[in-house]
Chains A and B, each alone.
Chain A
Amino acid sequence: MTQFLIRRLFWAIFLFFVATIITYLIFWVIPADPARLAAGKAASPTDIARVRHFLHLDQPIWKQYFYFVKNLVVNRSLGMSFVNRQSVDSIIGKDAPVTASLVFGGAVFWLTLSIPVGILSALRPRSILDRISMTFVLIGISAHPVWIGLILSFVVGYKLHLTPIAGYCNFFPGAPGAQCEGPVQWAYHMILPWITFMILFAALYVRLVRANVMETMSEDYVRTARAKGASQSRVMVQHVLRNSMLPVVTILGMDLGLALGGAIFTETIFNLPGLGREVVAAYNADDLPVITGVVVFSTLCVIVFNLIVDVLYGFLDPRIRPS
């Protein structure tokens, strides 16, 4: 187990370098002049040169990268935003809960929807329910979240006044300057974003669960269970479900890790101050430290969730349990 964790740690460090170096390289390739933007509209060329020097932008890219790593290791800091000189750590600390609300809330929705529907579809392939759910899958996969978000916002929020059109409220009350706060307002504001965000995943997971359950039901050991005299419900619960959920757990871990890096479309449509919206703004302002910070954070999320999946898998599947 220790060896496994050490291997994982080295893998994480390697991934961290790969992801951040690529971010720096891309930034170096694209024609950008963050100093001009950071200095402001009225800045003279000397001002811009001063800003450029101050931000180390006059240094070669490898040196800038070196400063970034050094700052991270020595000061445990992701640096300061080029644009507003806020610490990237605090920006991410402020945005991450918003994205996490969206992603985890959405995940609860899409799992409670897709697992039962997927199982029922698998039990009765070609039935009415199966056909309806497969139609839903097709729509869910094809429809773009921007379109879904706008339609929901317009119909449910603007026309029917059932939910807010956009905006975010903190789950925990007490933040200064907040217009609304508390779990109820939080959930009320998140309903449409959750639905928008989860539709694609729900569609993908219905298909995934259905395929896995069908595959597991044709396994030889399911036939063995029936030959033992097990009832349909016993066969499903004891023999089919756990085996068919194994691949779902893997994919769920990856999806959650990835999504935490920012659900860009949903956050933009509903004006949620999360990582996705932050990274879009940072990209428009050539704000390299913020972009890198979000990349580091989402890399970390992917690594952590893969680790969780691996540990969970050990519990679920004895074949890969480290002995």
Chain B
Amino acid sequence: MKALEVQDLNTTFRTDDGLVKAVSGVSFSLEQGATLGVVGESGSGKSVTFLTVMGLVDPRHAQVSGSVLLNGEEMLGASQHHLRQIRGATIGMIFQDPMTSLNPVKTIGWQLEEAVLIHQDVTRKEARKRAIEILKEVEIPRADQRVDDYPHQFSGGMRQRVMIAMALINNPEIVIADEPTTALDVTTQAQILRLMKRLQAEYRMAIVMITHDLGVVAELSDDVIVMYGGKVVEQSRVNDLFARPEMPYTWGLLGSLPRLNAEGSRLEQIPGQPPSLLNPPPGCLFHPRCEFVMDVCRTKLPELAPSEHGEDHRFRCHLDSETRTRIWGVKKAALVTEDAAA
């Protein structure tokens, strides 16, 4: 059964300069207990997509349309009261920067207890017990003492553990992790990912892993969607995406992954900037940066079409199947030789 099903989601912000289509026509679904990786550059709309799902975009500035089904129940247009009951209980959320995501003047324990007390009819004492329990669960040493510490007494990695604990404290069905490892150093990143993997098995929850790091996706995800300019440009099973990416933007993302053994060679980069969503380019949003751009790309937006190489694999590109096969062949060979040369 599907835990979350999003159909044709659009989020448009009204700004002083005009309308910004931060999310347009995004559809995906998330199976219970599965992990969905959401990849894209900064400003590709990945965070806004899930803030919209959570009902956390300000309706005074944003216009939202489409459908968000949580366990079959429509969330868009639900009352704030109902959304509040879901936030933190059915859906937990972990944010990017653990340094600023905790209230500096409240103890860790207080903030965890608050999450329990909002959703469960328990005493503060019971909530505190639960807080200590969950801190142990996320491997905070001496949890029964550290529960009374303030956020500034914790390191970045520890604070992210606290954020994970806070997201999990009410046994949610879905955890949305918005770049949970981006602000952490590499060793801590690995620990946090391992922790999340373990907890996912334990708590049987579905995870949405928002990231710009394909390594994180490969590590954790079952399915993946690639976003660009507020649109889904490729979606598939994670293995299919890495085995046979179908469009130039994904090729670029894979090419720009740093590889340890490719010493001395320059890191690939995708030239140019992500598109302005205030004045998006006509046609395919990626065409100004695409090395295989054709005339049709400048005028017509490619549909999110199924690929012949894998089920549930869809992508947006005007290039024909033969050309894509040829180009990916060359790209893949280059990546492999690079690896072999090292």
Mark interface residues in A227-263 (1 if CB within 8 Å of B CB, else 0): 1111100100011001100000000000000000000
Partner of B119, one of A229, A317, A318, A319: A229
Partner of A224, one of B86, B118, B150, B163: B163
**In the complex with contacts A220-B95, A220-B97, A238-B114, A228-B88 CB distance below 8 A:** yes
The reply to whether the CB of B54 lies closer than 8 angstroms to some CB of chain A is yes
Binds A, one of B67-75, B102-110, B189-197: B102-110
Contact across chains for B101 and A228 when beta carbons are under 8 A apart? no
**In the complex with contacts A228-B118, A229-B84, A317-B104 CB distance below 8 A:** yes
**Chain B residues in contact with chain A, CB under 8 A?**
54, 56, 84-89, 92-93, 95, 97, 100-107, 114-115, 118-119, 150, 152, 163, 166
Partner of A221, one of B88, B92, B101, B119: B101
The reply to whether the CB of A47 lies closer than 8 angstroms to some CB of chain B is no
Note all chain B residues with C-beta closer than 8 A to A226.
56, 87
**In the complex with contacts A227-B93, A243-B105, A219-B100 CB distance below 8 A:** yes
Contact across chains for B56 and A223 when beta carbons are under 8 A apart? yes
The reply to whether the CB of A156 lies closer than 8 angstroms to some CB of chain B is no
Q: Complex formed: what's the CA distance from A76 to B301 in Å?
A: 86
CB distance from A217 to the nearest CB of B (A): 10
Q: Complex formed: what's the CA distance from A228 to B84 in Å?
A: 8
**In the complex with contacts A220-B97, A318-B150, A319-B152, A229-B105 CB distance below 8 A:** no
CB distance from B94 to the nearest CB of A (A): 9
Q: Complex formed: what's the CA distance from A224 to B85 in Å?
A: 15
**Which 3 A/B pairs are nearest by Cβ-Cβ distance?**
A229-B88, A228-B88, A220-B100
CB distance from B46 to the nearest CB of A (A): 16
Contact across chains for B152 and A318 when beta carbons are under 8 A apart? yes
Q: Complex formed: what's the CA distance from A151 to B43 in Å?
A: 55
Q: Complex formed: what's the CA distance from A226 to B93 in Å?
A: 10
CB distance from A268 to the nearest CB of B (A): 42
Q: Which of A260-317 contact B (CB under 8 A)?
A: 316-317
Q: List 12 A-B contacts (CB under 8 A).
A: A220-B101, A223-B56, A224-B93, A225-B114, A227-B92, A227-B93, A228-B115, A229-B115, A231-B84, A234-B118, A238-B114, A317-B104
Contact across chains for B103 and A221 when beta carbons are under 8 A apart? yes
Note all chain A residues with C-beta closer than 8 A to B163.
224
Size of interface on A: residues with Cβ below 8 Å to B: 21
Contact across chains for A227 and B87 when beta carbons are under 8 A apart? yes
In this complex, what residue of B is CB-closest to A126? B60
In this complex, what residue of B is CB-closest to A323? B153
In this complex, what residue of A is CB-closest to B153? A318
**In the complex with contacts A220-B95, A223-B95, A319-B152, A228-B87 CB distance below 8 A:** yes
**In the complex with contacts A223-B95, A224-B163, A230-B104 CB distance below 8 A:** no
Note all chain A residues with C-beta closer than 8 A to B87.
226-229
Beyond A221-B104, A318-B152: 5 further Cβ-contacts under 8 Å? A229-B89, A230-B114, A231-B84, A242-B105, A318-B104
Contact across chains for A224 and B104 when beta carbons are under 8 A apart? no
Note all chain B residues with C-beta closer than 8 A to A224.
93, 95, 101-103, 163, 166
Contact across chains for A229 and B118 when beta carbons are under 8 A apart? yes
Contact across chains for A317 and B105 when beta carbons are under 8 A apart? yes
Q: Complex formed: what's the CA distance from A239 to B100 in Å?
A: 13
Note all chain B residues with C-beta closer than 8 A to A316.
105
Q: Complex formed: what's the CA distance from A237 to B119 in Å?
A: 18
Contact across chains for B84 and A230 when beta carbons are under 8 A apart? yes
Note all chain B residues with C-beta closer than 8 A to A227.
54, 56, 87-88, 92-93, 95
CB distance from B80 to the nearest CB of A (A): 8
Q: Complex formed: what's the CA distance from A170 to B56 in Å?
A: 56
Note all chain A residues with C-beta closer than 8 A to B84.
229-231
Note all chain A residues with C-beta closer than 8 A to B152.
318-319
Q: Complex formed: what's the CA distance from A317 to B151 in Å?
A: 12
**In the complex with contacts A224-B95, A224-B166, A227-B56, A319-B104 CB distance below 8 A:** yes
Note all chain B residues with C-beta closer than 8 A to A239.
103, 106
Q: Complex formed: what's the CA distance from A238 to B105 in Å?
A: 10
CB distance from A10 to the nearest CB of B (A): 28
Q: Which of A219, A220, A227, A234 is most buried by chain B, counting CB atoms within 10 A of its CB?
A: A227
Q: Which of A219, A221, A224, A231 is most buried by chain B, counting CB atoms within 10 A of its CB?
A: A224
In this complex, what residue of B is CB-closest to A221? B103
Q: Complex formed: what's the CA distance from A319 to B86 in Å?
A: 32
Partner of A243, one of B101, B104, B166: B104
Note all chain A residues with C-beta closer than 8 A to B166.
224, 228
Q: Complex formed: what's the CA distance from A242 to B105 in Å?
A: 8
Contact across chains for A228 and B114 when beta carbons are under 8 A apart? yes
Q: Complex formed: what's the CA distance from A239 to B152 in Å?
A: 16
Note all chain A residues with C-beta closer than 8 A to B86.
229
Contact across chains for A221 and B118 when beta carbons are under 8 A apart? no
Note all chain B residues with C-beta closer than 8 A to A223.
56, 95, 101
Q: Complex formed: what's the CA distance from A183 to B329 in Å?
A: 92
In this complex, what residue of B is CB-closest to A246? B105
Contact across chains for B101 and A230 when beta carbons are under 8 A apart? no
CB distance from B85 to the nearest CB of A (A): 7
Note all chain A residues with C-beta closer than 8 A to B102.
221, 224
Q: Complex formed: what's the CA distance from A319 to B153 in Å?
A: 8
Note all chain B residues with C-beta closer than 8 A to A229.
84-89, 115, 118-119
Partner of B150, one of A221, A225, A319: A319
Mark interface residues in A32-57 (1 if CB within 8 Å of B CB, else 0): 00000000000000000000000000
